[in-house]
Homo-oligomer: A and B are copies of this chain.
Amino acid sequence: MPETKKSTLALVAERAGVSIASVSRVLNGQPASVQLAERVRAAADALGYVPDASARTLKTGRTDQIAFAVADVGNPVYVKMMHEVERVVAKAGYRLVLSSTGADPQEQIGLLGSLNRGFADGLVLSPLRLSAELVDALRASRLPIVIIGTLPEDVELDNVRVDSMAGIMLAVDHLVQQGRKRIGFVNGPVDTNPGTARLSGYLTSMAEFGLAATADLQVAASDFTYKAGRKAAARLLGQSSPDAIVCSNDLLAVATLKELTERGLRVPDDVALVGMDNTDVAELANPSITSVDLGAARRGKAAAKLMLRRLADPAAGVKRVVIEPTLSVRESSVRAGVGAGQHISPGYEEVRA
């Protein structure tokens, strides 16, 4: 069993009877004679030597840490992203530092400040709201940043976005094919990025199919949670009688499902239901919920790869990746066991990430 006390390069060098430079070289795999390497390794083992991260960082400027900041750790979709980011960066030798900011842009600006202290080599950020001030702070930041989400065109930052317009279109198209006409929409807050994007997707899709998107068919929950979803769904069902409902995420969909069930409405017989994000809860729900897959895992993976690329070449040109959504058809949108389990994509070539 190796020593438990903290040891340093100098101690190892002393024990091996060589210079600390030699120890450093051997341990970093640089050329050295076999015998010297032998002795160094023996000494290092005996002392249980582990290099000190902060000293190395101070010298090299690298921390081997990547920060991941997300608005809501409670939302499964972010967990999915995080999981994937972690997987990719870990394989490249980086640790993931989780920085849960709230939804507030101000907090994220604070994060940027502390990032400049140098505790991470880069930041992957998935902001819910994108204030002008945050954009400025992002621009001014000294270290690599990858944004997951849509960005103004003139912001020169690596980012991966998803075509949520196309996502909603998939959902509406599918519902129309099932013979639905009065398609309701349970959105999240419209002052968020996803909120506005999905609303415009809904309006566009409805127009495309010549369906009326009347005001009574639309509600917005106060946030993207189950609880807010229950209230919003209740409001919707109080003011109209849709034969199908699209929800802005799966949590809202589960909430809507519950609300429907409690009112004695059957899913999908009376009302068809489609969620978004294709998280586990869509699969777990009863009936299982058809959901637009916005590629959370793919987005996480793409973002992580963009980060690794930028770290490898800080001068490289800005790169934007667009993820195409697909539709996972489940029980909630298809009558009596016909066609459930399908997987529908827009047919474009998926952007390689």
Residues of A participating in the B interface, judged by any CB pair closer than 8 Å = 1, 4-6, 50-55, 57-58, 63, 65, 73-74, 76, 79, 82-83, 86, 90, 95-100, 113-114, 116-119, 140, 142, 226, 251, 254-255, 257-258, 261, 280-281, 283-286
16 A-B residue pairings within 8 Å (CB atoms): A50-B117, A52-B58, A52-B117, A53-B54, A53-B119, A54-B63, A55-B58, A73-B82, A74-B79, A79-B79, A95-B99, A98-B98, A226-B280, A258-B286, A261-B286, A285-B286
Indicate if the CB atoms of A97 and B65 lie closer than 8 Å: yes
- Residues in B neighbouring A100, C-beta threshold 8 A: 83, 86, 90, 96
Report whether A58 and B54 are in contact in the complex, using a CB–CB cutoff of 8 Å. Answer: yes
Contact of A4 with B261 at beta-carbon distance under 8 Å, contacts A74-B83, A83-B100, A97-B65 already known: no
Question: In the assembly, how many copies of this chain are there?
Answer: 2
Q: Are B74 and A142 in contact (CB under 8 A)?
A: no
Contact partner of A73 (CB less than 8 A), chosen from B4, B83, B251, B285, is: B83
Interface centre among A54, A74, A86, A258 (most CB of B within 10 A): A54
Max count, chain B CB within 10 A of own CB: residue among A4, A5, A58, A96: A58
- For the complex formed, measure the closest distance between the CB of A289 and the CB atoms of chain B, giving whole angstroms: 11
Q: How far is the CA of A258 from the CA of B286 in the complex (A)?
A: 7
The complex places the Cα of A251 from the Cα of B284 at a distance, in Å, of 9
**Besides the contacts A6-B142, A50-B117, A65-B119, what 17 more A-B pairs have beta carbons closer than 8 Å?**
A4-B142, A5-B142, A50-B116, A52-B58, A73-B79, A79-B79, A82-B98, A83-B100, A86-B100, A95-B119, A96-B100, A97-B97, A255-B284, A261-B286, A281-B284, A285-B285, A285-B286
Partner of A54, one of B118, B140, B226: B118
Closest A-B pairs by Cβ, 6 of them: A54-B57, A98-B98, A53-B117, A53-B119, A54-B54, A54-B58
